[in-house]
Structure 1
Amino acid sequence: MTNIAAYSYALAAAGYLLLVLPVLSGWSGRNQRGTLSAACLLTALWAAWLAWDASHARFWSAFTGSLEILRDGAWSLFLVALLGHWRSEGSRLPFGLRPSLFAAGCAYLVLLGAMLAGHFRFELLNALGALPVVTAFACLAVYGMLLVEQVYRNKTIEERWAIKFACLGIGGMFAYDFYLYTNMMLFRELNPELWNARGVINALTVPLVAASMARSKSWSTPFVVSRRVMFHSAALFGSAIYLLAMGSAGYYLRFFGGRWGTVMQAAFLFGAVSLLLVILFSGTFRSWLKVSINKHFFRYNYDYREEWMRFTRTLSERGPNLGDRAIQAMAALVESPGGTLWLRSDAGRYETRARWHASEADTVEPANSPFCRFLESTQWVVDLDEFVARPDKYEGLAVPDWLLEYPRRWLVVPLILHEKLFGFVVLQRARSPLKLNWEITDLLEIAGSQAAGHLAQEDAANALMVARQFESFNRMSTFVVHDLKNLVAQLSLMNANAEKHKDNPEFQRDMLETLNHSVQKMKLLLQKLSRTENAEKPLPLAVEQVVRQAVALKSAFEPRPQLVVEVPGMKVMADRERLERVVGHLIQNAIEATPRDGHVMIRLGRREADGQPDAVEIEIVDTGEGMSEEFIRERLFKPFDSTKSAGMGIGVFESREYITELGGALEVTSRPALGTTFKVVLPLYHEAAAATIS
């Protein structure tokens, strides 16, 4: 039995330690704060010491008796402070105390001194000489019960509502002590069962005192025990009581089971622990416990800060299935096990978008149906069970038959976005009975609006992604059209000169080369449009060959471009086709901006800068019209902005984008009527460095 006593008193110690936390953390009942905290701490110390004694096969000692006197005195002092009438006018006693209170205090001190002075032990209670001490403890219990009666009788009706649970708890504690000690006085011995149950009795007074603290405005506390802590504490407290009861039952099975006693005890305890684990991990039980705690211990059903953080965190998680997470977040608010989401489609009807722990539902609801119009106009959360029982509660509501037949349907939560019905969620019945009130409906309505915003954002992101895909394709098509325009210009110029130079063998060779190059480029452009080409991979290539090819393709134009190679053999990492197109476009622009008697010069050299790696520099200089600084700054690199009548305005933009992609830079200087200089700067490729890296 010592183990049962140890568990019993340890449970009481843990309960009062939990109770003292909000008192010490800022309980606003200043007149009783010190006395209540002292009473809780002394009770916890007393119970802990008794648990320690029981675990070492000791029932009592002089120190335990002293702690019990201090515990009774602290609770009595708390009751006196709660009563408020502890002073008497004209009293000459210290602090103006009433004579009766002063006498009671002296009696406590005398009994405490006698207990500490002697070596009183529990075994001596069987002797007749211990009877006065037992009688003194019984008198202390009677005095405590009288104080409880005085406190309750002298309070108003409103104050009684606040303190009645505390009076029941403290009064029950003193009443049980009175019964214990009078039983000892009657039978001249201690009843072990009564002694063991005393710890549990004291533990059961904890929620009663806590309930009184939560109910009174004068006892209100800025320290708020979170629902999570209360939930886990209640589960732990209940588990401890359950295990204590099961341990007691197992003890009796072993005691009366004879040869099978040990087997029966082991099997029973294993089954009891398994049942406890099943209950603790049951969603229905957890839901019931959470609803019960919110209903009986808190003014509001929700801790809005915690709920909103959890709701937002669920919706903001990474990954797909936002619809499932939206249902899950709203279902958690009302302990619903699942639900289904309907969203409005482009066809003007509400279709199933997501399901979370719910059955298949492919039903489609027209957007102009009476049901959808009712949800949009009222923005109400509809309780379908209430609608079936009382159709007049939702005036004008017409629920479709498919929804009434939907398995376990319970709540319809509208998703309102910009005063329009974006969709709705049908939640299944809660795991535990939950009465729908104004607080729950308001929370669901605002949660529906929040979920609608996230879902609309996802739809907008998907639409934007599709639009960007089309934009990317259209942009590529634009570049292709731009290249085709240049090819058409080359072929048109060649066709114009064919009649004049058709007998010239050199012209014929150039014409064939130009036609072959144009055909190859057109094939590449068709591959891009059909998206059959492989991704471009930059490769080391000789810059001189790329530039010479670009200059050769423009040799039929006037003024004819001139190439000067200052440093041969340089290489860069790039795609040959794209780099040639960039250089060719810049040369083409220079030719078009320069009169026939002008000059277009291309220089291929090397740039060296302090602290920077070597770079290849392709300089294109013309003596054409030139550009102003304002034009270069605001219009030159702006796509689809061109001064040419047939131009598209994307050539320079594409050139700069690709050069930047290669890690280079496109520099331009120009003066009106004097000409323009473009410089293409690209990182120089070093074979030795590349081999070392690889």
Structure 2
Amino acid sequence: MGLVLFSVLGVLLAAAYSVFVVRTMGGKAACSVLPAVGVTVAAAVIEGWMQHAPDYGYTLLHPMMIAQALLCPVWLLYGLSYARGFSWGSLSALNKLMLLFSCIPLVLVLLLPVSRFLFSPDYTLEQVLYLEPLAFSFYLLLVLFLLVALGNLEATLRNARHSVRWRVKLALVGGGTVLMAHVLFYSQGLLHRTLDMNYAGLRTAGTMLGIVLLLFAELRRDSARVTVTGRFALRSTVVLLGGLYLIGLGVAREGVRQFGSAFERHAGIGLLFAVGVAVVLVLLSERMRRRLRIWMQRNFYQDKYDYRSQWMEFTARLSDVRDTRTLMRNVLLHYCEVFGFVGGAWLAVDSENQHRLIAGHYYEMDEPEIHLDNVDFSRLTSLSVPLPVNSLDMILLREDSGLEDTTKLREFLEQSRAEVVVPITAGGTFEGIILLGPAIDRSEDYDTEDFELMDAMAHEVGLTAKSFRLGDELAAAREMEAMGKVAAFVLHDLKNQVYTLSLIADNARDFISEPDFQADMLESLENTVTKMKVLITQLKHLPDAASLRLAPVELQDLTHKACSQVPGINLVVQGEPVTVLVDEEQMEKVLVNLCLNAVEAGGQAPVVVTTGSHPQPFFSVRDEAGGIDEAILRKGLFRPFRSTKRRGMGIGLYHCKKIVEAHNAVLQVQNRQGEGAEFTVFFSGGATTQDAGGRVGDSQHDDM
């Protein structure tokens, strides 16, 4: 009697729902929604009547199976149409094919007698229906199509915008409740090859609950529509779990048939053990943890990321930094953790050349063997949004450019194993790029959602990096302002040297003929002149290309001339004679500074000056004084007011760099920690002709 009351109540709820749907949704939409509710209630009423009047059970079997068969197409149509912009023409070929196949159970029931599906020795007593082999296939198709319909509802919910989702989620949950109640009821036929109609009451209760949710949802829903993308439609968690459920049913049934009832106990223990191993693997595997987090985020929150927590964590990390290097390390670490990459690299813009990148920081990423000075990054500096590296060929490298530069850029990215390039900008100012790769999960697809979050973070990073850069520039400006104060002390030293010279001149009038005085005078003059030249060289204006007086100069001869001004030097000149087109006076200053630094660095080994012409004209100055401190190298060896000497002003190497650049040459340093340092000046290929053209640049070594 209770089942009959349930059925009557279900009919009333279905009628109320139908009236409301027709009034609010219109005839076209109602034609795809009402059949699902009507057929479901009809099946419940027939099954309830079979239990209430078992004598009529055999006569109601055929109507019951027709109603069950109709569940497939009507609920499949419901899942494709509810809350969507539905039209027959908008259905994909796959969905149309699924609708066609969903009619197979109905065709079987209409063409074949009921005896081919079900039989019951004594239905009036047991109310249990036994399944023939054909009925097993019938209910298998029924469960499968209901699971597909449930997957369509899930796709609708996952694709709904936040403003729409709260209006449709109750209806989708209600429809899902009806479908799951039917799946659980009919799956007993797959496990036991029987349908126990005594469980129909539970199925009817679940159906009523689902219809109540549907009716309540319609009272709140507006006309908003959801557009479902193919990617979400194909990645259905419900279909996946439903498939695993069916496989589990099949394994359980065959196990019981082959091994008896004890199989259930052993299978349960084995399943618990497998679940425990899986949990351990998930906890130990960073890749699996990331997949699980993304799966939960997308299925329960729709979005791949929890933007609020991500942004709070990101800004907290930025607020902790106190210098540019810490900023680089924290940013790369955060990018790798959030987006699932093994490592990353920050290539910053050179403060003196906005079109050139220098190595900022590498985090768990292979540093390419190709030197940054040999790679043309101009294509990447024009990048405005994050992009996967495999898209650069189509977007950045398709324009006409030098083949050599393009090849080196590709080689650089391949050697670093970078997969994503993220530009760093701030108010239209390019600050550098971030390279990310390789991915922890090689199967993960990075889409617009990932790149938008990367871009949002990069803008914040750009503002922070720009503030640090402007702070460094302000500090440099203040240091330049302090140059005047430093010059006062230097001029004081010059005045002392002039005073020494004046004393020598005064005494020379009286003692010039004495040999001892002559020897002392020559030694004093030599020391004084050397000190004055060094001071004057440090304070003299920096040359440019237009002020140079170029002439052919033999480098080994120039080396001996320059080193004669450095007291106490133990010099070794080696290599081949090379003649280059330079300003002899200016290049002499470079050699004097480099050799003087080598002598003052200490060490017992001689200073070795090497000249050569392969692969291009060059000279190098090498010492064996233990190398340069790493802290000085990281801060910038060629920047003014940064010295390795206790009382040095830090402008000697800066001056050398400017002279070399004015010659269109390149100054490099190679540091051998614990051994020594070697400074090399490379001249351009045209340095031996009247055209001193070539590339101007400062090629800083990796140790810098």
In the superposition, the TM-score normalised over structure 2's length comes to 0.39
In the superposition, the TM-score normalised over structure 1's length comes to 0.39
- Name the larger-Rg structure: 1
